[in-house]
Amino acid sequence: MQQVHINEKLDVQPPALIRTMAIDGTTSDEAVLPIYYPGTSEPGQAIRVELRPGLTARVDFQSSRVPVHRVRGRIAGGSVESGAGSSVRLVPLNPNGAQETFPTDYLDLLSLIEGNSFDIGGVPPGSYAVLVDLLRDGTRMSARTTIDVRNADVNDLVIAPTPSVRVTGVLLIEGDTSDDKAANLIAQFQLRSKTSDDDWFEGGITYPSLTFENVPTGDYSIQSNYMSIEIPGKDGSFPAYVESMRAGSQDVLQNGLHVDSSFDQPIRIVVRNDFGSVSGRVTGRSFQSPETIVVLVPSLRSERARYKAMETDMTGEFHFKDVAPGDYKVFASESNNDDRWHDPEFVAAHEIDGRDIRVSAGNDRTVDVPFTRRDAK
């Protein structure tokens, strides 16, 4: 058998694929994927290594080659206009659905559409979101689906795109604005697919209007990454939060937004700035070295702007200001910057260690929170 290193455009980079050629002339491709200590391909399952002055930490784990395959198929409905923007992309999924299995800068699983065909190489076994965006007869079209790649190539995958949709909304400011009418809202909104975290759309705001262009049909959440209001007669801007989002009969804040080809309901987004606050102390550990983080996990799990995290002081005390009214779970664990507390399964595993609180506008809630080891399973 003969092994050669190959660089296939739009395949796994880095490293180059490793192609093995058998005596009979058949070939098979392999690649070495990233492995995180203590031996997992899932970044969220990696364990932190603690380095102390004067000591050596030993870290042993193995990486290995995995077979990679091809995904081939065609776009139903005729030829596609060639050029930028007409492509098929695969995004790895983990068993929970939205989070990626591999780092986004490691796998580049993309194929431009030639005529109406596509061919993607270097695909490791796993589950993937298929993101199709194209231009046909001057119309922007798209499709979203999922596939499983196991022990063989996937051939004859047929994708049927539909015209993309324009999603609009109106922003309404209510609540405490110091008895003045709010003149402007400064905000960022993203429409994020429930199929893949890598599939999202930035909203354009000309207050009070919000617009998302060229949205594929599917299910989404709307996330506000930053929001503040400007009030006449007041210097600067003031933080704000989303109280409710509705599109016709859809409660978007609670359940997300379903977009289909007939979608024409503007989203009504109510914004307020009457916050509460949360104070307390972490119990169950020593605070000579403050390495404890406290996390507020909202019952509205899709509303990422409501998640808050901070380190305690030297005595284990904490204070969150500008907390949107609502129900929360409060957790305390080792200080870390990862996104684990956004994972519903991780939160559920530590449910018994959290403390329930209900925050109301204008009030400060006080709660003692037991320390939870972050690497507990």
Per-block mean pLDDT, blocks of 10 residues, the chain (377 long)? 40 51 69 72 69 80 78 91 83 61 59 91 89 91 94 93 95 69 81 89 93 95 88 84 94 94 93 94 71 89 87 91 95 73 82 93 94 60
Is residue 220 located within the same domain as residue 183? yes
pLDDT of residue 145: 94
Here the CATH number for the domain that contains residue 355 is 2.60.40.1120
pLDDT of residue 329: 94
Q: Determine the residue type at 88.
A: V
Is residue 17 located within the same domain as residue 144? yes
Is residue 109 located within the same domain as residue 224? no
CB 319 within 8 A of CB 281: no
Listed residues 272, 305, 323: the one ending a domain? 272
pLDDT of residue 14: 41
Q: Nearest to residue 254, comparing CAs of 268, 266, 244?
A: 244
Residue 57 lies in a domain: no
pLDDT of residue 183: 67
Here the CATH number for the domain that contains residue 197 is 2.60.40
Residue 58 lies in a domain: no
Here the CATH number for the domain that contains residue 142 is 2.60.40.10
Distance of alpha carbon 19 from the chain centroid: 33
Instruction: For residue 300, give the H/E element and its range.
Output: none
Is residue 31 located within the same domain as residue 138? yes
Is residue 263 located within the same domain as residue 177? yes
Place of tokens 């005595």: 315
Q: How many domains would you assign to the chain?
A: 3
pLDDT of residue 291: 73
Is residue 244 located within the same domain as residue 286? no
pLDDT of residue 22: 67
Is residue 267 located within the same domain as residue 312? no
Residue 377 lies in a domain: no
Q: Nearest to residue 240, comparing CAs of 207, 199, 267, 196?
A: 207
Strands 162-163 and 154-159: unpaired
Is residue 207 located within the same domain as residue 69? no
Listed residues 107, 140, 162: the one ending a domain? 162
Q: Give the C-alpha separation, 15 to 32, whole Å.
A: 7
Q: Determine the residue type at 78.
A: G
Sign of CA dihedral 307, 311, 317, 318: negative
Q: Determine the residue type at 195.
A: T
Is residue 243 located within the same domain as residue 349? no
Is residue 141 located within the same domain as residue 226? no
Is residue 180 located within the same domain as residue 198? yes
Residue 56 lies in a domain: no
User: What is each CA distance from 309 to 70, 200, 313, in whole angstroms?
Assistant: 42, 24, 13
pLDDT of residue 340: 76
Residue 169 lies in a domain: yes
Listed residues 220, 255, 272: the one ending a domain? 272
Is residue 248 located within the same domain as residue 331? no
Q: Which domain holds residue 286?
A: 276-372
